[in-house]
Chains A and B, each alone.
Chain A
Amino acid sequence: MKIEIKTLLVIFIVAFALALGGQFAYGFMVGDWEIGGYIRNESSLRVSGDTTELIWSENIFQLEITHHLSDSIDLFLMTRAYYDAVYDMKDGGFLKDRSVRSELRDKYALHRKDTQADAIREAYIDFYLEHCDIRIGKQQVVWGKTEAFKMLDIINPTDYRHFTQDAFEDSRITLWMAKFSFSPFKPTNLVELVVIPDVEPNVAPPYGHPFAFRATRATDPSTVIFREDHKGWRWSDLELGFRWGQNFGDFDYTLNYFYHWNDNPYVKFKGLDFSRGVRPILLLDYKRMHSIGGSFSKNFNKLFGLPHWVIRFESVFKLEDVGTRITDAGSEPIRTDSFNYAIAIDHTFYRPYRLWGTGLSFTFQFFQSIILDYEHNYISGALSTPTDAVKVDEVENLFSMIFMANYLQGETLKPFLMLNYGDDGEWWISPQVGYELTEKTLVTLGAHIFSGHKDGFIGQMNKVDNVFLRIKFGI
């Protein structure tokens, strides 16, 4: 048995015993220090396709330390020990290919910089000044109002190691940056300025990984050479974000602007390599783009005859985004513009107190993406293979419904159901149920079921239906 497994086993046995014994609380304070965190194991079993196999067994020990340096200065560190035991536990399924196994283990078994398994997950200093809050360090900044899919949530890139199954808090790749927030004229106004010197792309799983995108899945790395230009950092590389917001009580809105690098590469053909047969050389380049957007949410006393509704909306113009088109000479990168928006409506159904303590929240969301300079030869870079180019539609639609016990639940049983439907006949259904075993122990059993054509964004995962079990101990 590997040393990591032994260590984790010891940690879990001790933590479990302590958790059940109620000997430690969720976070505690010592002087000006505040310490919290959790130990979590999450294992997932692929149940579709030809094999039933374990596809991950993540063990995470997360420690969150806050030091209140003074009345107006806080230091915060979130550090994470990460170990995915699946790469040492089995020798079959998607890991049967030795060369793939080795590469995947290098990338995903342990913590790795600039992914969701980064050892320094967050580390920042907060200054609470009279007129301004400043947060400098590695952090997450979240824009937008919708859930399940990202639209205006564009500041931090994403780690797609589990497709988009992970909570965004986990899958966001944290960045070193400075955030300035202040409230001009009225406390209910908000101006936010984000300055990001740290530029990282999205992380997509490599060839051989169960959640690799279709294009990657079909491209054996031995048949192609990827290169990246590593240029020195310059001041002009800074990413800049700006947000203005106002809250009028039953209505609030934001206006957003982000001048940034595209999180996905602009792939250019750079020639052929003849060292081991004939292999194309592809250069991964990253381009600047502009995202201009806004959001609002509105509370309604009554809508459609039912009381207490909330409508949320967000939109973003993506200008100079990167895309791909197919020509007679093959595929080539392009710059493109799109308009994306999402509208969501929420309602909490009444449930008599004595039957069900917390009510049931229902959310319906509609996402639409429109390519403004659409041409019929545009294809999807993530879904197309060398032999099968997948054209994109000028307008893409996605519907999402979420049922859950409301956020202020406090119940020991926590049901959750998410249904997503893409207009090309794709489905993604995720039922989950959480149970609070003790005050400090939460057990969640759930599943992700994908359906649709293999060249669809959701459908490409139709062989990766999985059932997962998550055990989380608070410390």
Chain B
Amino acid sequence: MKGTNWKRKIILTVKLCSILMLMTGLLSFREVEAAEAEKMAWGYDENLVICKMPIDEAERRIKEHWSYNQTEGKLNPFLYYGKLPDLDAEIPDPMELVSSNWYQFKWKYAITGMYDHEVQKREGRKYKGFSDVTGVAIRVTSRGMQRASTLYGGIKNYHRDGIDFKDIRRFMSPEDTRGLSVMTWDYLDKSKDQDTFLYLPSMRKIRRVAQANKEDSFGGMDVTYFDLSLRVPGDEEHRLLRVEKVTDELINQLKKEIEPKIPGLPEDYTEQRVVNYFTTLKEKDKKCYVIESTQKLDFLSFDKRVWWIDSENFRDFRRMFYDKAGRLVKLYNISFRRTPILPDRKVYGISEDFHWVKNMLTGHRTVIYHPPMCFNNPIPDSNFTIKWLKRAH
């Protein structure tokens, strides 16, 4: 045996350190979690800076600071962050419009997204705070082969300590991704890469992965990371093409685009939801801004996109992507739904409902359905950690 003194000393030191750290850890059952357990929410202070406050205070401030039409869900104040563009200007600054859209998009999960769904209620028991199926995505190849993915999770906006938001997702299907969990930390400094951690059931370990490229597909869908989370207004040059209203012509065009319908979809998942939403926009005589955005980044598969922004809530509901040759390469339509943004269901805003995306070059399509969601259910910080990721069986 080669039991030397130095070896014994190292082992003894490691043992002592382990015991010390363990004891310190045990004794540090801390106030951080206790604070999280309180009914805290993100709201706006006097300077419209997002900060943490008691949920009642957050609600009071919304009602106080924003003119709000509950019946129509006209404005989406709690989900809005940033300076409102001058709506009365004859030609609004397109960059302001795009920035407003971007803020809406980024802050769509203004507090923490939760969904109201049977499955999620059960899941929520297991994963405290994440009682949601975030989405059901169905991919369809040009030959009609279908693949469905379901996932749940949540987003928590921080806007402090350099962190923009943290996002966590767990796949429930298909088989090869069941249990796979993804945690992303996104930073306020957009030049900094996102940090992404995967829990891989096939390895039973957490693996850090490099940030996806903007052009990478998310989960094999026709939706890219650019569409989901990596787009920033400065990536493109924007031009306001026109201000228009949704017309029968646009609706008929949409009806043609979504043909042939995806067979076998349950009622909740049909493309008709997008048509219905466009029809509602027309009936409400909504004014829309049509923006043309040309890429500054040369590695994307499209050169420019033309997109429609709702003038009242600044969410875009239609995107058309073109390549350098002017070919239409991707079509992207979204419907929204009126949704409670506070747990007591007294305050409503809008949230994404249904995405319909088609790659015009390959014919591959994706539809994504988001179950009804509500906001502002505080999720503790501890749910956005390695420890939580490893809870998966």
Contacts A310-B209, A348-B210; is A353 near B391 (CB within 8 Å)?
no
In the complex formed, the residue of B with least CB distance to A25 is: B173
Contact A335 B391 (CB under 8 A): no
- On chain A, the residues within 8 Å of B11 by CB distance are 290, 292, 319
Q: Is A133 an interface residue (CB 8 A)?
A: yes
B187 / chain A contacts, CB cutoff of 8 Å = 249
> Interface size on A (CB < 8 Å)?
99
Is there a chain B Cβ closer than 8 Å to A312's Cβ? Answer: yes
Least distance between B5 CB and chain A CB atoms (Å): 13
Q: Which residue of B lies closest to A65 (CB)?
A: B393
Asked if A350 CB lies within 8 Å of chain B CBs, one says: yes
Query: What bracket does the count of chain B residues touching chain A fall in?
Result: 35 or more
Of A70, A172, A348, the contact of B213 (CB 8 Å cutoff)? A348
For residue A474, which residues in chain B have a CB less than 8 angstroms away from its CB?
174-175, 178
Pick the contact of A249 from B185, B204, B212, B329 — CB < 8 Å?
B185
A23–chain B nearest beta-carbon distance, Å = 13
Q: B219 to A310, Cβ gap below 8 A?
A: no
What residue of chain A has the Cβ atom nearest to residue B193's Cβ? A301
> Which residues of chain A are within 8 angstroms of B224 by Cβ–Cβ distance?
353
A352 within 8 A of B: yes
Nearest-CB distance from A287 to chain B (Å)?
Answer: 9
Known contacts A27-B178, A299-B193, A359-B213: does B18 contact A242 (CB below 8 Å)? Answer: yes
Contact A335 B1 (CB under 8 A): yes
Contact B208–A169 (Cβ < 8 Å): no
Contact of A247 among B2, B18, B180, B385 (CB under 8 A): B385
Residues of B within 8 Å of A52, CB to CB, are none
Are A319 and B7 in touch, CB under 8 angstroms? Answer: yes
A429 contacts B by Cβ under 8 Å: no
The answer, yes or no, to whether B22 is at the interface (CB within 8 Å) is yes
Instruction: Provide the A170-198 mask, 1 if CB < 8 A to any CB of B, else 0.
Output: 00100000000111111111110100000
A278 at interface, CB cutoff 8 A: no
Is A144 interfacial (CB 8 A cutoff)? yes
Q: Which residues of A contact B175 (CB under 8 A)?
A: 26, 38, 439-440, 442, 472, 474
Q: Is the CB of A353 within 8 A of B216?
A: yes
* Chain B residues within an 8 Å CB radius of A131: 29-30, 33
Interface residues of B in 110-163 (CB under 8 A from A): 119, 122, 125-126, 128, 139, 141, 145-149, 163
6 contacts between A and B (CB under 8 A): A190-B387, A244-B18, A299-B211, A408-B212, A410-B147, A439-B175
A-B CB proximity, top 9 nearest: A410-B220, A474-B175, A184-B25, A357-B217, A308-B210, A410-B219, A184-B28, A242-B18, A191-B25
Interface residues of A (CB under 8 A from B): 25-27, 29, 32, 34, 36, 38, 64, 66, 68, 70-72, 74, 76, 78, 122, 126, 128, 130-131, 133, 140, 142, 144-145, 147, 153, 167-169, 172, 181-191, 193, 242, 244-245, 247, 249-250, 252, 257, 259, 290, 292, 297, 299-301, 307-310, 312, 317, 319-320, 335-337, 346-348, 350-354, 357-359, 361, 373, 406-412, 414, 434, 436, 439-440, 442, 472, 474
